[in-house]
Amino acid sequence: MQIHYFGWSGVTLRHEDTLIGFDLFGDAVTWDTLKGNRVTVLCLTHGHPEHAGSLRALLEAPEARPHLANIHLISSPDVIHYINRHNVLAPENVHPVKDSESVTIEGVKVTVFTWVHMPLLPPGLREKLEYIFQLLIHPIDLIRIGTLGLSLPMNAPQLGFHITYPDSTTVLNYSEGVHRLTNPGEVEHVAHKLPMDMLFFAVEPDDAEIIPRWVEMLAPREVYIYEAHRPWRDTFHLPFIDLNKYAIELSERFRTMTFSAMTKVGQVVTREMTERD
């Protein structure tokens, strides 16, 4: 399996002639990087700008036409309606889903679950005020980011995706649902219903202390972490986490798991399949 990180929350998994893409957003996502698959399944977790803000334009670009017949889109009904509003994808290739529903495409089963978005502001009054201050002293950037979401389905539900391949490899993308306010019952339910070999999720600095609790409950064999909002944090000079160091700390705590930090746009990880897989 080849894992390709596109920045923000964008990840592709290329395995057995199938490409699964999560939240592909930004200029790094091109047809040169997505082509060459028997089937492509694009999964959007929710309707925020840095998740769903550029996929419609990508699908409507002239260079997309040779690939459209092999592309499937899975998300909530509102996000599906926004992305495919001009019907570039055939009806049989769009799959609006709700919590606990599954779609099987060319032998790959995709099951969705819902999660609650990570907090936008850090804990503590002083930290919140400092955060807001940084936003306010960059008004042009703040307005630009705010206007990105005006036409998007911002209130669409947040979905996680569980992938089961024909060879029984399992992947769970929890996206931005793993944080200090995550409901333990939710994690317990996901762990029980959707066990996984590989786990993907976003990390924010203020959630680093609680994340080991959720990792222990989910019990994956491999964990891949990324910082979903790092470009915005850099823009507003907000604190960030050293993901490479954090992955090492988690590896030392959970000796039976492997941890990989995805920090660079274009980063590729090749996962060797074994008999155990």
Q: What is the tens place of the pLDDT at every residue in 212-254?
A: 999 999 999 999 999 999 999 999 999 999 999 999 999 999 9
190 within domain boundaries? yes
pLDDT (mean) for 254-267: 97
Q: Give me the pLDDT at residue 273, please.
A: 57
Q: Give me the pLDDT at residue 271, please.
A: 83
CA distance 13 to 45: 16
70 within domain boundaries? yes
pLDDT (mean) for 199-209: 97
276 within domain boundaries? no
22 within domain boundaries? yes
Count: domains in the chain: 1
Q: What is the CATH number of the domain that holds 120?
A: 3.60.15.10
Q: Give me the pLDDT at residue 264, please.
A: 96
Asked if residues 70 and 39 have their Cβ atoms less than 8 Å apart, the reply is yes
Nearest CA to 89 out of 76, 75, 73 is that of 73
How does DSSP classify residue 242? -
135 within domain boundaries? yes
226: phi then psi, degrees, rounded to nearest 5: -150, 165
Tell me the pLDDT tens digit for each residue of 145-182. Answer: 888 888 899 999 999 999 999 999 999 999 999 999 99
275 within domain boundaries? no
Q: Average pLDDT over the chain, rounded to whole? A: 95
102 within domain boundaries? yes
Instruction: Tell me which residue range forms the domain holding 104.
Output: 2-270
CA distance 134 to 116: 25
Give yes or no for residue 111 having a pLDDT over 90.
Answer: yes
Counting residues of the chain whose pLDDT is more than 70, the rounded percentage is: 98
CB neighbours of residue 61 within 10 Å: 12
Matching residue, tokens 């990180």: 5
Nearest CA to 208 out of 188, 225, 184 is that of 225
Asked if residues 103 and 165 have their Cβ atoms less than 8 Å apart, the reply is no
